[in-house]
Chains A and B, each alone.
Chain A
């Protein structure tokens, strides 16, 4: 089985993040989200990602930057090479790959 390498931005402060590299088993047809979910289950459950529908491009939650382009991780293909994923640069960071994407009127203000 070949592998894909995901270089993942980690951190809670945009100015003080780091990249971590993960080798992920690769099967043709997989999505980048499949790779990130594999990392959580097999390497580090603290990796923050958000998704609801997993595969259907219905919830629109898994937006992130892949090699500099904004994608949905559920529809972007994993490839057997090094791929770099980062949180959206134009949204407020929560943690790792999760940013504040809800419309302002739908956010909780305590």
Chain B
């Protein structure tokens, strides 16, 4: 079992969402050869394509604005933990990538010739551009796919599941993957590798992103030796669709409805309960994500939740005409699901949405390992303890562009491909050690892990819950074992699940232990046994893996001055 194909490239990009595709375009334009791979189809999975709504950027098209205002709001939302160098980069370069996307024909919504910018909670002014209220992400993905296809020098390959990065000496020199379509191992040698695999929402039962975002990139980088930061901060989107069962629609679809029409959040008694938590909405959409998540969870705990364990979101005070004017064809898609908003509320509840933490990078997106850069949600730090709405697509584009540039610059400084086959040996040996074991059901184990994370490592945490989760994660890790399960043939789901679980369990354990050590409440991390934000906890937690062992340390927050 030693036959495998090999690819040699200047730049390897793992993940083809918004960040990966932008990085590919930028690196190829700078003259590097690019190998853009994805575990699934190119440009179809990940989070970008699922984004329903807005992109926050200080364009000042309708209301005067400056990136420094956006920066201030981003830091405010981040509750003192943002890496200010990364937050600044996001805000300062946002306008450039937005205009580039505009030139590429994404089709930002306009009024009187100006790009329309909507108000979103947490921003000091209208700042959020969009394409169409339910189509922003798909339009961004489609535009980038088109540009990728037209850019010479980018080779694309789907169905490649990266199992490990290749570390040789101090540097990363490529990756080892399984070609899912055949089951065969593949090695890739690269002068620069960009990890753009998105976040970890798949760790949770209910989430707003694709099933292929199980924290792969965090685990790959950690195993290669790059440290992670802020892993305890998982953002929950407060009003994910809960009931009735709805198909063909993204669960975060109610966000655009709220932007346009306000809507009312009601408890089982029909009360607008957010006032109890200090926010009077009065038909407008002003409550921030962390507070709405808190309010809904507390209402459910107090026995005032909706039948499926959430809150009601009602548009019954609006006429059918108003609804149609705002959402035309979407109203028909709802009707096909037997949902008539003029006659009934829907049920909503918090769902896992975004990971603030991630791989530590500087403002060139370089990690601590030469040859390894990161982009998009895989990067940790820019959003601190809580991400401002609208910053995720901006981050994907800005960080993707920067990572592509840095990778191309590294390529230009190197004479030859540094990949040496012996460095890939351990990863190839692991793949080859697979056995057709049937002692575990990998699909069931993923569901068990999701249940544990949702029930015990959700937005509201206690020592008791976190310790229980850690125990369960350990049990699942032991059951998974050290040798992959599967037959190694084409599209072997058990092999896919095994390698996914290896990453998911590792990352779940890190989220849980970082949540356990942070004995305060801040942003998306709320400890019911340690309420209140403590000044001494204005530090980032950093996780490193050495010799297979995890080490957690604290470091001071990176301030803007450090970027100068």
What residues of chain A have their CB less than 8 Å away from a CB belonging to chain B?
Answer: 12, 27-31, 37, 40-42, 45-61, 74-75, 77, 94-96, 98, 100-102, 105-108, 110
Contacts and interface: CB of A to CB of B under 8 A. Distances in A.
B157 interface: yes
Contacts of B246: 29, 55
Interface string B489-503: 111111001000000
Contacts of B489: 12, 95
Contact of A74 (B46, B138, B247): B247
Nearest to A94: B491
Contact of A29 (B138, B182, B245, B492): B245
A27 B245 contact: yes
B378 interface: no
B49 interface: yes
Given A58-B250, A106-B41, A110-B179, A51 B211 contact: yes
A53 B441 CA distance: 22
B97 interface: no
Interface of B: 5, 37, 40-42, 44-46, 49-50, 137-138, 149, 156-160, 179, 181-182, 184, 186, 210-212, 244-251, 337, 441-444, 446-447, 487, 489-494, 497
A102 B42 contact: yes
A40 B440 CA distance: 12
B486 to A, nearest CB: 8
B211 A54 contact: yes
Given A51-B211, A101-B41, A106-B156, 6 more contacts: A12-B489, A55-B250, A56-B248, A59-B44, A61-B40, A106-B42
A31 B247 CA distance: 7
Contacts of B159: 102, 107-108
Contacts of B186: 108, 110
Nearest to A77: B247
A52 B493 contact: no
A72 B29 CA distance: 36
Contacts of B42: 102, 106
A29 B41 CA distance: 28
A108 B160 contact: yes
B44 A52 contact: yes
Among B138, B182, B441, B442, residue most surrounded by chain A Cβ atoms (within 10 Å) = B441
Contacts of A77: 247
Nearest to A55: B247
Nearest to A110: B5
Contacts of A98: 491
| Pairs of residues from A and B, 6 with the lowest C-beta to C-beta distance, nearest first | A29-B245, A110-B5, A108-B157, A52-B45, A40-B443, A56-B250
